[in-house]
Amino acid sequence: MRKIVLEVSLSIILSFLIGYIMLILMGYDATRVFSIVIREGLSNPTYLMMRSTPLILTALAFSIPSSVGVFNIGGEGQFYLGALASLIIAYTTGNSLLSTITGMAAGGLLSALIAVIKVKRGVNEVVTSIMFNWMIYFSLLYLISTYLFDPLMPYQSVSVPKNARIEYLTIQSVSIPMIFPIAVLTSLAMYFLMYHSALGYRMRVVGISPKAARYAGFDPESSIIISMIIGGAMSGLGGSLLILGHTHTIDSTMSGLYGMGFAGIGAGLLGRNNPIGIIFSSIFLSMLLIGGEAAELRARVPTELADTLIGMIVIVLSAPYIVRILRVRR
Amino acid sequence: MKLVEMRGITKVYPDGVVALKGVDFEVSEGEIHGLLGENGAGKTTLMRILYGEIKQTSGEIIFSGKAVSFKGPWDSMRSGISMVYQKFSLVPTISVIENFYLYLSSFQRGVGIEEVRRRAEEMMERLKFRVPLEANVEDLAVGVQQRVEIIKVLLSKPKLIIFDEPTSVLTPIESRELFRTLRELKEDGITIIFITHKLKEVKEITDRVTILRKGERVGTYETPSVSEEELAIMMVGRGIVPTKRSVSSPGREVMRVEDLWVRDDRGLNAVKGVSFELHEGEILGIAGVQGNGQLELAEALAGVRRAERGRIIMDGRDITDLPAEARYREGLAYIPDSRAVGLVLEMNLMENSILTSLRDFLGRGGRIIWPLASDRAREVIERFNIVGSLRSQVKYLSGGNQQRLLVGREIIKAPKVLIVSEPTQGLDVAATEFIRSTLLKFREEGRSIILISSDLDEIFELCDRIAVIYEGKFVGIGRNEDLTLERLGLLMGGVNA
């Protein structure tokens, strides 16, 4: 446990160092940029919680299948679908609970399809996931600009009605978007599932050692499918909460949704696939993203800075694995 | 004249393990020199250093009178040192002659394949045995593969050949053939280092012997001047007390297998119509050279692999169609030959102790009751003398401790029938004795064991009845007292004597 915390902190420090040097080479005042990123990233706790919420869920969408040995790169598409399903139900029924459940079901159904194709037909999940991601992306664009657009504001979709929105809770002048505690509680539930239930135990055994799982009589196929369904549902819930608690609508370029599923992969890796670690890694990465946007405005640093830093962290995080492989070779 | 002199060799691995502590080792030209020691004594490490595969931490090597420091195996091969590995270094999917070419061309530039073929023919002529040059290596029997390996290293005209436990994969007959070849090589003036942990082999084939124990040299002796008992004491550090098996009369039948057919992963029949019965308080041994259907048989009995045909009846109940988990609940337990299968190495000891009885540790709603699991883990640790804590990942335990955990976890469930495969493979003497006496004690309690092993000493020491499996069939079955080592050896080699 201590080793993991150490590894993660080291990789963050190292990637910051690399980012710092990069900024200097590009001719920026690196110290100033970093102070903007961190200060602005943390300046508005409410906004930080808001931004972290979908990331926590897409990180879970990656990590839970990942602990069973499946690479769920389809979090992006599952996220879109969850958002869409949620929007439609919220718009038509005005019921937030029903809308959330539908969002989860939509995401779960999509990933179940990917898992079944993998298990029954042997098609690599990465290939099908990427295809579904794009199919859903363009279908959604079409649907929003053709049927679901708001007649008064045609650059965005119809909105979630007031009574279906998930609002804020204000405690001592800090207002907490209610979607955030929902995400955190979901993460804790996932931790319990993975480490304190028979289902999670089986899934972990399948992920670590398929041979041992077969010996113990655990069915790897059902573990793969269940983990994918849970993952997809998490992504769907992420899309749902974003719509109900934050944006209330989907803009017709989908810029508010785009990339959230992929960012979740980074957050999942940084959290070492541990649901509790993921809460922290998602908050941390959201801080970088918010801070990066601020730095773009204030220091004219390219918006890709935050992305580069996150990418760097993920690369550096894999360094311990490389060291371990080299050590075994010797 | 001395061919090899290694002085004060010390090796510390990056993880801090001290494999060798100032070992001196000498080999004279033209002799067969035995290198004797238990698993983990440092035999292979010492030879890999000589061969240039790994570097010593300190100490010097003199070969043919010159101080040397090899940069890698290719470098030592040029000086005339070759090694025949326990697991051969052949490419299984290409032909024998291509393997020869691959090997020779890696350190002798400009050798053509026709030249390699000519030399191989010449070599086979001299050794008086042939291998099919055009056949793919993977299609050959293990004994033949070893001959391929021997011819391969001879092609480079070595002065010294190191054999790393060459008999571990061979039947008794094949071993005898190998020894004949070794003597011929010696007559041709080739020096041989023979790594082994088998005392009989040392006596049979070597001129001199060096004994290693825990990374230190115990001594070097003229082989005829030391007895097997003396060698054993030097190797282990104390005398070996063979485990005593009491003779008992078997009880009622607890398991019955009728005409069992099982396929391997490639879809070929690996078990072909095996039938037997097992009684209360009985150990049934299944002897055989590894790879004759033992794995498939064990897995089919455990329910991990599907049986194509036949019936398995336990306690009067047909369990042929039950999956593994259900069979384990019915009182069957299975200890596979590989610890990487029987344990989840990247999980901790506590998590591993419930792997095959998960349901006994569940509360409402499929919740795992970890305090219960930790009680069980503590019990296994205590009863089976495991050095390790509940939270330590199993991969950090020593092989012996891993095996105690695996065996202990299954035995503590007090199953009616225990299927155990190669339980002492790769263990030191102390751990081996512990496992064997544990199995015997389990039998004394009136339980039944199916013991699959390629170690004939183990089979004779533990089993009441012995069956021999060859190419998926039982080629003989009888009471321990009625069988001899020779007869068993012949049956294992497919000779129906």
Asked if B304 lies within 8 A of A208 by C-beta distance, the reply is no
Residue A152 CA to residue A234 CA, distance in Å, equals 33
| A9 pLDDT above the threshold of 90 | no
Mean pLDDT, residues B313-319: 93
Measured from the Cβ of residue A29, the count of other Cβ atoms closer than 10 Å reads: 13
E strand map for B298-337: 307-314, 317-318, 332-335
Which of A194, A201, A226 to mutate to test binding with chain B, by most B CBs within 10 Å of its CB? A201
Please give the Cα distance from A243 to A106 (Å, whole number). 14
Across the range B380-405, mean pLDDT stands at 88
Nearest residue, CB atoms, A201 vs list B14, B15, B358? B358
Whether the per-residue pLDDT at B157 is higher than 90: the answer is no
Confidence of residue A330 (pLDDT cuts 50, 70, 90): very low
Would you state the pLDDT for residue B15?
63
What is the per-residue pLDDT for A193?
96
Helix (H) or strand (E) holding A143: helix A125-146
Length of chain A as a residue count: 330
Instruction: Report how far apart, in Å, the C-alpha atoms of B467 and of each of A272, B278, B285, B308, B323 are.
Output: 50, 12, 6, 22, 26
For B137-152, write each residue's pLDDT tens digit. 888 877 788 888 888 9
- Cα separation, B188 vs B290, whole angstroms: 33
Q: Which two tokens stand for residue B176?
A: 């005898």
Average pLDDT of the residues in A74-103: 95
Q: pLDDT tens digits for A208-252?
A: 999 999 999 999 999 999 999 999 999 999 999 999 999 999 998
Q: How far is A234 from chain B (nearest CA, A)?
A: 21
Please name the residue ranges forming H helices in B1-62. Answer: 43-50
The CATH topology of domain A47-297 is ABC transporter involved in vitamin B12 uptake, BtuC (1.10.3470)
Q: Is there a contact between B324 and A217 if contact means CB atoms under 8 Å apart?
A: yes
| pLDDT tens, position by position, B183-205 | 988 998 999 999 987 788 889 99
Closest CA to A280 of A6, A11, A69, A5: A5
- Domains, chain B: 2-236 (3.40.50.300), 253-492 (3.40.50.300)
With a threshold of 0.80, does the pTM exceed it? no
Torsion of CA B274, B277, B282, B285, to 10 degrees: -10
User: What pLDDT band is residue B221 in, cutting at 50, 70 and 90?
Assistant: very high
Per the prediction, chain B carries an average pLDDT of: 88
Residue type, A67: S
Cβ-Cβ contacts under 8 Å, A211 against chain B: 338, 340-341
Residues 6+ apart with CB under 8 A from A204: A67, A68, A194, B347
Separation CA A127–CA A34 (nearest Å)? 38
**Amino acid at site A209:** S
Q: Are B315 and B322 in contact (CB under 8 A)?
A: no
Rounded Cα distance, A3 and A323, in Å: 14
| Minimum-distance CB partner of B325 among A199, A208, A217 | A217
Label residue B267 exposed, middle or buried (CB < 10 Å: 0-12, 13-18, 19+).
Answer: exposed
* Partner residue facing B343 (CB), from A197, A212, A214: A212
Task: Output the pLDDT for position A4.
Answer: 78
pLDDT band (50, 70, 90) for residue B16: low
Q: Concatenated DSSP letters for A187-251?
A: HHHHHHHHHHBHHHHHHHHHHH-HHHHHHHT--HHHHHHHHHHHHHHHHHHHHHHHIIIIISS-B
A101-105, A246-250, B212-216: range with lowest mean pLDDT:
B212-216
Subunit contact B368:A199, Cβ cutoff 8 A: no
Give me the mean pLDDT over the A77-87 stretch: 96
- Residue at token pair 């970088």: A288
Q: Between chain A and chain B, how many beta carbons pairs sit less than 8 Å apart? A: 68
Give pLDDT tens digits for B77-130: 888 999 988 777 888 889 999 999 998 888 777 888 888 999 899 888 887 778
For chain A, list the strands marked E by DSSP.
Answer: 168-171, 174-177
Q: Which of B304, B346, B351 sits opposite A215 (nearest CB)?
A: B304
Residue from B344, B345, B346, B421 whose CB has the most chain A CBs within 10 Å, to mutate: B344
Which position has the higher pLDDT, B110 or A66? A66
Higher per-residue confidence, B480 vs B13: B480
Measured between beta carbons, the chain A residues lying within 8 angstroms of B334 are 215
For residue B223, the Cα-to-chain-centroid distance in whole angstroms is 25
Binned at pLDDT 50, 70 and 90, residue B241 comes out as low
Instruction: Give the pLDDT confidence score for residue A110 in this predicted structure.
Output: 96
pLDDT at residue A327, as a whole number: 57
On whether the CB atoms of residues B325 and A216 are closer than 8 A, the answer is yes
Cα A135–Cα A140–Cα A141 angle in degrees, nearest 5: 105
Q: Per-residue pLDDT averaged across B339-347, rounded?
A: 93
